[in-house]
Amino acid sequence: MSQSRFALAVFATVGLATAALDAVYQQQAAGTRREPQFDNANVRVWKSIIYPNQPLALHRHDHGRTIVALKGGTLDVVDAQGKTMEKMTWETGKAYWLGPDAPGTQHGDMNYGKEPMEVIVVEMKNDAPR
């Protein structure tokens, strides 16, 4: 094989591998996820994007938090077995307060709707001063 054919084969292989990796990253970016926004000693802020039938993994909140619905919908709060513990409906453009979770509990979030939900979560890291 000539050097030019070899170089062409290498470039084609690298191009296919790069395209495959790009597809994987785009698929991951298109799924349910948390995107960190801001974090300091007092507050943690992230954006949660919850796609239909793609649960947000089990987690807990030790502190209260404000939810701002960028794209609202109805969310099922589920336990480790997938049983719905609570339903929450958030209207686009509205803000909601959620207190800390009960000690020793975890929950997941499930969107059974047809469209993705997007919320900004502002979680306090400590009690607010009085």
- Does pLDDT of 95 surpass 70? yes
Its pTM surpasses 0.75: no
- pLDDT by residue (tens digit) across 34-63? 999 999 999 999 999 999 999 899 999 999
Region of residue 69 (left: phi > 0; alpha: psi -120 to 50; beta: else): beta
Q: Is 39 helix (H, G, I), strand (E, B) or coil?
A: strand
- What the block records as the tokens of 11 is 């470039």
- Does pLDDT of 120 surpass 80? yes
Are the C-beta atoms of 69 and 92 separated by less than 8 Å? yes
Q: Which amino acid is at 5?
A: R
Q: Span 87-93, mean pLDDT?
A: 97
Main-chain dihedrals φ then ψ at residue 58, nearest 5 degrees: -55, 135
